[in-house]
């Protein structure tokens, strides 16, 4: 059995969305809304904030490559089922097209 990564690198630079597969849903996350990306010191977990809430991915193997690719927005999809994906719902704010603050439930 081939040991495949739980994510795929984007082949097209500048894709506006990343596909996140969870055990329950398929989500398209806007790169413009992804913020506060962080990894544990040992890179066994990665966490970020998006329009759906705080996403946490964890693995027994290093997620350093995933973290590096997220830094340059080159992830096409993540199989959250393989990375123990959890999403904690939160509210985030972003600037609207007119510069006003917009709340996302």
Q: Could you tell me the pTM of the whole model?
A: 0.81
Q: What is the CB neighbour count within 10 angstroms for residue 80?
A: 24
Q: Give me the torsion for CA of 53, 68, 74, 71, rounded to 10°.
A: 60
pLDDT digits (tens, 9 = 90+) for 27-49: 999 999 999 999 999 999 999 99
pLDDT digits (tens, 9 = 90+) for 62-82: 999 999 999 999 999 999 999
Q: Looking at beta carbons, which pairs linking 40-46 to residues 24 or more positions away fall under 8 Å?
A: 43/67, 46/70
Domain locations in the chain as residue ranges: 7-93
- Distance CA(85)–CA(56), nearest Å, equals 6
């Amino acid at each position: 059995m081939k040991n495949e990564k739980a994510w795929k690198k984007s082949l097209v630079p500048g894709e506006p969305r990343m596909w996140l597969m969870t055990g329950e849903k398929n989500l398209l996350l806007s790169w413009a809304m992804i913020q506060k990306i962080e990894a544990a010191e040992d890179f066994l977990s990665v966490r970020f904030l998006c329009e759906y809430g705080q996403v946490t991915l964890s693995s027994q193997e290093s997620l350093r490559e995933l973290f590096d690719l997220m830094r340059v927005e080159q992830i096409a999809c993540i199989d959250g089922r393989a990375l123990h994906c959890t999403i904690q719902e939160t509210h985030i704010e972003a600037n609207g097209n007119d510069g006003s603050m917009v709340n996302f439930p």
